[in-house]
Amino acid sequence: MILSLTIMGTASAMPVSDRTPSAQMLNANGRLFLIDCGEGTQQQIRRCHLSFLRIEAIFISHIHGDHLFGIFGLLNTMAMYGRTAPLDIYGPQALGGVLKFYDSYFGTGDLYEIRFHPLSCKEPEVVHMSKAIAVSAFPLNHKIECYGFRFDEIVTPRHAQANPAYRAKSYAYCSDTAPFPELPGWVSGVNCLYHEATYPEEMADKAADRFHSTARQAAQCALQAGAGRLIIGHYSSRITDFAALEQECRDIFPGTVAANDCDVFEI
């Protein structure tokens, strides 16, 4: 399987001059999965040469604006392009009201159906099955209801028999969260882990107060999970030395990359 990740936004609550808020696109053999949809996501989709119409499903971690404010424009653009295929959207129950508002005021005449799937799991649960990918949701530890997502390649028995040494690919997305004991187990063994690193360790008190993680805490999660690679993002607007943040992680987990907007990673 070809599995690639495009990081479209690495900022946290406020966009800065060269970074937009959270959004990522996972490409699984041409099937696109959008993860969060912060302000500016449409522009980033264009900048990264991705397709609006090939998005199969959208996964929203929580309804803080920096993870959501781009969705109205995106849904409208899909309609303007003439999308007819249904669109599955997964997120906290409160997201249903947001989508209902969009549909009431802006969705009249849209040719495609928005199928909203509210999440309520207390531990990892498969919520979406594609031809080659199983997507699980799991709760995170944030101020409001918030979910992470894990994407696991589905290996058919025929493929496994033909390639007995093949290891299925996997990716996990952990947005806004304070550390908690279960998380490393829930993302155990993934090829690639994205974990927010809003603050450096010297701002650990602020991270705890706002239910976020430091770079060190992100690295500890990756180490405990046995992840193959760690990608960090969701940087505070106060952060300017991203190399130092990356090094803080690498002291614990050497396979760390501090992401920039429009970075592409092969998984």
Q: Which are the contacts of 134, defined by CB distance < 8 A and separation ≥ 6?
A: 126, 128, 151, 152, 154
* pLDDT at position 74: 98
Q: Are 171 and 109 within 8 A, CB to CB? A: no
Find the domain containing 155 and state its range.
3-266
Per-residue pLDDT of 59-107, as tens digits, reads 999 999 999 999 999 999 999 999 999 999 999 999 999 999 999 999 9
What is the number of domains present in the chain?
1
Instruction: Classify 131 in phi/psi space as left (phi over 0), alpha (psi -120 to 50) or beta.
Output: alpha
* pLDDT at position 97: 97
Q: What is the CATH number of the domain that holds 16?
A: 3.60.15.10
Distance CA 62, CA 59 (A): 9
Q: Are 56 and 32 within 8 A, CB to CB? A: yes
Q: Which residues are catalytic?
A: 66
* pLDDT at position 165: 85
Structure tokens at 167: 């290891």
Structure tokens at 132: 């080659």
* pLDDT at position 14: 80
Per-residue pLDDT of the chain (267 residues; tens, 9 = 90+): 899 999 999 999 887 888 999 999 999 999 999 999 999 999 999 999 999 999 999 999 999 999 999 999 999 999 999 999 999 999 999 999 999 999 999 998 899 999 999 999 999 999 999 989 999 999 999 999 999 999 999 998 888 888 888 899 999 999 999 999 999 999 999 999 999 999 999 999 999 999 999 999 999 999 999 999 999 999 999 888 999 999 999 999 999 999 999 999 999
